[in-house]
Amino acid sequence: MTAFPRYRALLRQQLILQRVDIALLTILAALAAPAALITARAFDTSLGSAERLLATNAMLAAFSTLHLVASAIFLVVRAYSADAAVRHTYAASLPIERGRYALLRAATGLTLGLLPLAGFAIGVAVVTAGVALPPALYAYPVALVCRYALAFVVTFALAFALQYGAGRRASRIAVTMILVLTLTVVFAEIAEQPNILPSIGRVLVSPWSPLSVFAAEWKLFDV
């Protein structure tokens, strides 16, 4: 059996397993832009509507970032958990190397991630079409959707590398990393060293870091 039939079989298996989850993720992604617009009260046509539209950017950045990170991690962990529940017997029964099986899992996960991406794009398109923009204010839906897609791929790749590289220890490693970061924040506050946190942030989102995609401005509306 060539790679594509195996990929198609794994995709079908994962889609059946996660159909409800993926449908929910897609619906939530579609609601991100409308929810941000409503939260910022951008439908108000009174004076200051331009400011409310610009405030939508911050809301949408928060909603979309939280959703894409959760979606990417969930797709990785759910697929791994399904294999772990049967002690990876399905993977072991296939006449392929473990590394190639992991690549197939990555391909199926990224493919299923297209569904929440499509939902996000639909929500952004609806908001863009339904808002009357003030003069000198423009919408950039394509750029925002592309940024969402890139951030999803980065998050998925990092989560996948951690999960399939560390196996069952992945959750412990993730918790340890979060704990170390939290303690760093606490000790920085206690020691009154405010420059520590900005330095860490600059390293994490520096231009050579894959996380730099999160540091850019997530703007649907701009001049």
**Is 120 domain-assigned?**
yes
**Is 50 domain-assigned?**
yes
How far is Cα 41 from Cα 35, in angstroms, rounded to an integer? 10
Task: Give the pLDDT confidence score for residue 87 in this predicted structure.
Answer: 63
Residue type at position 173: I
Per-residue pLDDT of the chain (223 residues; tens, 9 = 90+): 567 788 888 888 888 888 899 999 999 999 999 988 888 765 555 545 677 777 788 888 888 999 999 999 999 988 888 777 666 555 556 667 777 888 888 999 999 999 999 999 999 999 988 887 878 888 899 999 999 999 999 999 999 998 888 777 777 777 777 677 676 666 666 655 556 656 666 666 666 777 778 777 788 888 7
Which two three-digit tokens encode residue 28? 């939530």
**Is 87 domain-assigned?**
yes
Q: Is the dihedral of CA 203, 206, 212, 217 positive or negative?
A: positive
**Is 67 domain-assigned?**
yes
Task: Give the pLDDT confidence score for residue 212 in this predicted structure.
Answer: 78
Helical residues (DSSP H) of the chain, grouped into ranges = 3-39, 49-85, 89-93, 98-112, 114-130, 141-166, 170-190, 196-204
Residue type at position 18: Q
**Is 207 domain-assigned?**
no
**Is 38 domain-assigned?**
yes
The candidate with the shortest Cα–Cα distance to 41, out of 120, 142, 131, 145, is: 131
**Is 209 domain-assigned?**
no
Residue-number span of the structural domain to which 56 is assigned: 3-166+214-222
Task: Give the pLDDT confidence score for residue 90 in this predicted structure.
Answer: 58
pTM: 0.82
**Is 44 domain-assigned?**
yes
Q: Which single residue is written with the structure tokens 């490693």?
A: 173
How far is Cα 87 from Cα 103, in angstroms, rounded to an integer? 19
Question: Around Cβ 60, how many Cβ atoms within 10 Å?
Answer: 28
Contact yes or no for 108/160 (Cβ under 8 A):
no
Q: Which single residue is written with the structure tokens 């990170």?
A: 69
State how many domains the chain has.
1
